[in-house]
Structure 1
Amino acid sequence: MPIRELKVCLLGDTGVGKSSIVSRFANDCFEHTTNPTIGASFVSKTVQYGKELHKFVIWDTAGQERFNSLVPMYYRGSAAAVVVYDVTKRDSFCNTLKKWVQELKRHGPEDIIVAIVGNKCDLSGIREVPLEDAKKYAESIGAIYLETSAKSGCNIAELFKAISQRIPPLYLVGNSENAPIKLRKQKPRPRFGISC
């Protein structure tokens, strides 16, 4: 079974739950208190998708503004960028998330898959970002959209499955099992635009 290594970069404001999403996906655990990420950290996890194994190499970037200048070196060469906001903090959606989308549009890989993720959906009682607003924004830029809860595990596996679904499948050239693996040509997707 062929293995694909897929670099995924998580972006977003400090405290939105990026590290918790990574921890829940990679280790199926949630810690109630976590220290802010310094610079970036990475973890990997391999999952089966169809007839392939997808090895996600996940870069969890720091959300503090003083580390923003370092982030482009982490999303360079990424297959996907997951831009996370906190559903209970409007500013994390209206300002920080949209700023990262603009940054990806200007400097990210042209064919990067973008996922917009509203984390902490278990706190719906104190929600500040309406589901429809976020969904509409994600649709307008051609991004995947999911609401997740790293605490409960809601939609964490589904997020990475949705990324896998956007990766063009591999096929073997010739009949030999040792034949080189090539990417099947991907149908062009509309380049995401910005609307604030």
Structure 2
Amino acid sequence: MKSIDAKLVVLGSQGVGKTSVVVRYVSNTFNGHLSPTIGASFFTCKMMVDNYRLRIQVWDTAGQERFRAMAPMYYRKSNAAILVYDITSLESFDDMKSWVQELQKNTDGDLAMCVFGNKCDLEDQREVDNNLALQFAASIGARHFQVSALSSEGLKLEKLI
């Protein structure tokens, strides 16, 4: 059996639910009272995919502007990135353009990217049109997913090992 190690960085503005998405995926739990991330948090996720043992180092970066200068050191040698926005905040969606620019400046080689529209459980408060988000994701070569850290909707949980 082959093993693969990968580094995944999670980016987005403050309050979009990056940590909640990561915690939901890694431990299948939700805590509505998480403190803002300072710098970055680190998680390890292990799973089996098509006879490969995959170990993912997940770097959950801080979204606060005051920690923005530190973020590029967390991007280095990343294999993948998840850009998270809050579907109830057009501002958080617009901010993703600058996060993509940061990634492109501070990473080398191919980087797999996904865009997560978090908080899809708040559909009645939606400010970001799903078609607009799909177009943006396509424009940067990324896939787009509507997710909810609260309900786990859209966060397919693979069998962890």
TM-score, L = length of structure 2: 0.94
Structure 2 distance, partners of 1:45, 1:114, is 18
Question: Secondary structure, in 3 states, of the residue corresponding to 2:156?
Answer: helix
Give the corresponding residue for 1:33.
33
Cα drift, residue 74 of structure 1: 0.5
Residue matched to 1:54: 54
Which structure exhibits the higher relative contact order, with contacts defined as CA atoms closer than 8 Å and separated by 6 or more residues?
A: 2
* Contact 2:75/2:106 (8 A) holds in 1: no
Q: Which amino acid aligns with 1:117?
A: F
Q: Percent identity?
A: 42
Unpaired stretches in structure 1, ≥5 consecutive residues:
161-196
Supply the distance in 2 between the matched residues of 1:59 and 1:141 (Cα, whole angstroms).
Answer: 21
**Aligned residue in 1 for 2:136:** 137
1:21-100 aligned within 5 A: 21-94=21-94, 96-100=95-99
Instruction: Say which SS state the counterpart of residue 56 (structure 1) adopts.
Output: strand
With the length of structure 1 as denominator, give the TM-score of the two structures: 0.78
**Which runs of no fewer than 5 residues in structure 2 stay unpaired?**
none
> Residues 34-88 of structure 1: CA distance to partner in whole angstroms, max 9, x if unpaired?
1000111101111111110111110001100010111111110011011100000
The alpha carbon displacement at 1:109 in A equals 2.4
- d(CA) in 1 for partners of 2:98, 2:22: 22
Other structure's SS at 1:110 match = coil
Q: Call closer, same or farther: CA 1:148–1:20 in 2, change over 3 Å.
A: same
Shift of 1:9: 0.4
**Structure possessing the higher radius of gyration over alpha carbons:** 1
